[in-house]
Structure 1
Amino acid sequence: MTINKLSLINFKNHSEVSFDFSPQINCFVGNNGVGKTNILDALHYLSVGKSFLGNSDLNNIKSGEDFFTIESEIQNEEKEDIIKILHPRESKKIIKKNDKTYDRLADHIGYLPSVMISPYDSNLISDSGESRRKFLDAMISQTDSVYLFDLIQYQKTIQQRNALLKNFAKNRYFDKDSLEIYDDPISNFGTRIFEKRKEFVEKLNPIVQHYYDIISGGKEKVSVVYESHLSDNTFQELLSNSIDKDRVLTYTSKGIHKDDLIFEMNGNLIKKIGSQGQQKSFLVSLKLAQINRIKELTGKSPILLLDDIFDKLDDTRVSQLIELVNKENFGQIFITDTHKERTENVVRRIHEESKIFEIS
């Protein structure tokens, strides 16, 4: 799948702008602060319906305006689809495909898969487990609509159980039978999520190692370890054994909402022993493995969004990365950079069709 055209109105700092894209490589060049990353964020919106920067939708409406729109023409095999995202300041966000509004955002996820590589990826190593869980869920959700449904239902049920625990504490009473109503749905949804996460990570690992070997040229063994309470207990056992603790904490302390991904190099935490260069190579390898898995599972080539990639890798490594992506037919590429000449040199080495857009 490729994005043929994109138009933005009142999106972040862009009042009105439009682009006709190359099916292969597209580069946005300009000084810092001119809105290059915002264009990538608009493309990310087309894929998953939200900002990759974590901004609320309202914060993406240009200051002083009442709405934003993102509209695109997408080549989908033999036909062209029009995807439009509209967010008025006073009402909820609307996503349309060929003028038909989606009932739920979840129905759109997976239509246009994407992978983002940005300077913020380092947060995956340094942040808490929540950011890594979100990353894992986003990967799988783009390939499996049933997983996304189970995840949404699990989260809703956990919220309901937590609300009941808080209500017990507030009113100083406890009804175990009422709480156990949630055990079966939490266990059913959670166990399915656990099994799919486990399988996904197992199949991801050798691919991460493969790309790490190519990018780094090093001899380190890297791995992604999936850590979960369910590795040693059934969900029913977890809920039963932690009920007294949950009463005190007033939330559900055990479950797949506490899962984590552990990034290792030679059996040690990569954030402790990995150099800055090794960590960058690992993160890029992880994202390339993500592209590989999405393509394998869906048959679709995700769009690749490379934000300020020269901050992560030197010019030669960037050339190697883009050549690798092209060679494996990973899909359409979008790049931001502050130096036009550097970008032109990299693109020239690859000998693929490309367009460079100067943003000011």
Structure 2
Amino acid sequence: MYLERIQLLNFKNHEELSLTLSPSVNGIVGINGSGKTSLLDAIYMLALTKSAFSQTDAQCIRHGAEFFMIDGVFKETSSGETSARGQQVTCSLKIGSRKVVMLDKKAYERLSEHIGRFPVVLISPDDTDLIRDTSELRRKFFDNMLSQLDHKYLDTLMQYNSVMKHRNSLLKQFYERNYFDKDLLETFDTQLLPLGDIIHQKRHQFIQSFVPLVQKYYAFISESREEVDLIYESELFESSFKYDYSFAMKRDLQLQRTTKGIHKDDFVFEISRYALKKFGSQGQQKSFVIALKLAQFEILQKEKGSKPLLLLDDIFDKLDDLRINKLIEMITNQTFGQLFITDARPERSRQIFASLATDVRMFEIEK
């Protein structure tokens, strides 16, 4: 599967842009601020219906414009042959209206139906935040991956978040109005706990197959200099969880939110049995993040039967020669399918791409 062409209208800093793409390697070059990352974000949104970098959809509308539109055509490849008919995906948003995503000009009733149809993996300079930032960011990363792999997981997660939102709203009402209805609160608990169990089991099963892939890619990138691990932490592993959940009701009322459940899970990254966040060097943290993303790429490929799009944002500027050479080695070995690489230094990209025996197309984005 690859993206044959893409067109942008009023998306971020692009007033209008239309590109016909290589099914192999696409180099996106231009000075900083020209819109290279915005182009990758548009591709990401076509695949996953949301921005990888903006908090709200409205932030994706170019300043002074009233709407944005992204239009692209995806094509399937099988046994080296490309299907003649592509699938057209259009994503648009008008100020004051609801975002619309269409497949072959037919709008989805639920955007979640689109997730996983066109798998994508993004590697960006901010990815080390996964290690340094809060557990919420790590949960989002794994939820994003599992949602691309399993629609049932996405549906269950959306149900869990909806029930928890209503439960938290009820807790706030109890606090503000100084009253309490235990039976009413338990109607939400009877929904929330089974949904949490399903999500917990799926996360646990997934991590067991995902960790060996992370370890494999980390060993490749770092040339087996140290061992790494990934540990899934959850209150639901405790046999007393349901008792602890009910016992936390008083605290929930005081804080006006649900304090126990799978929304408190974390994923701990270790190097040589120490916390990577505290004891890992910048190089080790970068290697771990790349290993995470390459493991994501492989597991999506296995489950979907085709290679995901791989988006590499400003990767040459942030990695040392060893890690760049390892990535180039994988590109040369045709590990990846369609690849998008942004770079602020065109000559460097051309020099690196010159060694590749594959179709490379360069696009220079002007500010």
Tell me, yes or no, whether TM beats 0.5. Answer: yes
Question: How far off its partner does 1:235 sit?
Answer: 5.3
SS of equivalent to 1:181? helix
Q: How many angstroms apart in 1 are the aligned matches of 2:199 and 2:158?
A: 11
SS of equivalent to 2:92? strand
Q: How many angstroms apart in 2 are the aligned matches of 1:241 and 1:233?
A: 14
SS of equivalent to 2:149? coil
Q: Which moved more, 1:341-350 or 1:285-294?
A: 341-350
Q: Which amino acid aligns with 1:27?
A: G
* TM-score normalised by length of structure 1: 0.97
State whether residues 6 and 71 of structure 1, in contact with CA within 8 Å, keep that contact through their aligned partners in structure 2. Answer: yes
Question: How far off its partner does 1:290 sit?
Answer: 0.6
Q: Which moved more, 1:323-332 or 1:271-280?
A: 323-332
1:278-357 alignment runs, 5 A limit: 278-325=284-331, 327=333, 329-357=335-363
Distance 1:354 1:319, change over 3 A: farther
1:154-193 alignment runs, 5 A limit: 154-193=160-199
Q: How many angstroms apart in 2 are the aligned matches of 1:15 and 1:54?
A: 18
Q: How many angstroms apart in 1 are the aligned matches of 2:263 and 2:55?
A: 22
State whether residues 54 and 60 of structure 2, in contact with CA within 8 Å, keep that contact through their aligned partners in structure 1. Answer: no
Q: Which amino acid aligns with 1:150?
A: T
Q: Which amino acid aligns with 1:198?
A: H
Distance 1:325 1:293, change over 3 A: farther
1:42-81 alignment runs, 5 A limit: 42-77=42-77, 78=83, 79-81=85-87
Question: How far off its partner does 1:236 sit?
Answer: 3.1
Q: Which amino acid aligns with 1:9?
A: L
Q: How many angstroms apart in 1 are the aligned matches of 2:197 and 2:317?
A: 40
Q: How many angstroms apart in 1 are the aligned matches of 2:143 and 2:332?
A: 26
Q: Which amino acid aligns with 1:292?
A: E
Q: Which amino acid aligns with 1:126?
A: R
Q: How many angstroms apart in 1 are the aligned matches of 2:40 and 2:235?
A: 36
Question: How far off its partner does 1:326 sit?
Answer: 5.5
Which residue of structure 1 lines up, in the alignment, with residue 110 of structure 2?
A: 104
Q: Which amino acid aligns with 1:86?
A: S
Q: How many angstroms apart in 1 are the aligned matches of 2:354 and 2:325?
A: 10
Aligned residues: 360
Q: How many angstroms apart in 1 are the aligned matches of 2:21 and 2:55?
A: 26
Q: Which amino acid aligns with 2:268?
A: I
Q: How many angstroms apart in 2 are the aligned matches of 1:265 and 1:315?
A: 22
State whether residues 292 and 330 of structure 1, in contact with CA within 8 Å, keep that contact through their aligned partners in structure 2. Answer: no
Distance 1:48 1:238, change over 3 A: farther
Which residue of structure 2 lines up, in the alignment, with residue 84 of structure 1?
A: 90
Q: Which moved more, 1:150-159 or 1:267-276?
A: 267-276
State whether residues 68 and 88 of structure 1, in contact with CA within 8 Å, keep that contact through their aligned partners in structure 2. Answer: yes
Question: How far off its partner does 1:128 sit?
Answer: 0.6
Work out whether 1:2 is the aligned partner of 2:8: no
Which residue of structure 2 lines up, in the alignment, with residue 153 of structure 1?
A: 159
Q: Which amino acid aligns with 1:157?
A: V
Q: Which moved more, 1:11-20 or 1:226-235?
A: 226-235
Q: Give the unaligned 5+ runs of structure 1.
A: none
State whether residues 46 and 83 of structure 1, in contact with CA within 8 Å, keep that contact through their aligned partners in structure 2. Answer: yes
SS of equivalent to 2:354? helix
The alignment-based identity, stated in percent, is: 43
C-alpha offsets along residues 153-195 of structure 1, whole Å, 9 cap, x if unaligned? 0000001111111111111111111111112211111111001
Q: How many angstroms apart in 2 are the aligned matches of 1:330 and 1:196?
A: 27
Q: How many angstroms apart in 1 are the aligned matches of 2:47 and 2:301?
A: 15
Work out whether 1:32 is the aligned partner of 2:32: yes
State whether residues 28 and 356 of structure 1, in contact with CA within 8 Å, keep that contact through their aligned partners in structure 2. Answer: yes
Work out whether 1:270 is the aligned partner of 2:276: yes
Q: How many angstroms apart in 2 are the aligned matches of 1:191 and 1:89?
A: 39
Question: How far off its partner does 1:322 sit?
Answer: 3.5
Q: Give the unaligned 5+ runs of structure 2.
A: 78-82
Distance 1:144 1:175, change over 3 A: same
Question: How far off its partner does 1:344 sit?
Answer: 1.2
Distance 1:326 1:144, change over 3 A: farther
SS of equivalent to 1:180? helix
Q: How many angstroms apart in 2 are the aligned matches of 1:310 and 1:137?
A: 28
Work out whether 1:194 is the aligned partner of 2:200: yes
Distance 1:6 1:85, change over 3 A: same
Q: How many angstroms apart in 2 are the aligned matches of 1:311 and 1:272?
A: 24
Which residue of structure 2 lines up, in the alignment, with residue 41 of structure 1?
A: 41
State whether residues 24 and 352 of structure 1, in contact with CA within 8 Å, keep that contact through their aligned partners in structure 2. Answer: yes
SS of equivalent to 1:19? strand
Distance 1:294 1:237, change over 3 A: farther
Q: Which amino acid aligns with 2:111?
A: L
State whether residues 190 and 235 of structure 1, in contact with CA within 8 Å, keep that contact through their aligned partners in structure 2. Answer: no
Which residue of structure 1 lines up, in the alignment, with residue 80 of structure 2?
A: none
* TM-score normalised by length of structure 2: 0.95
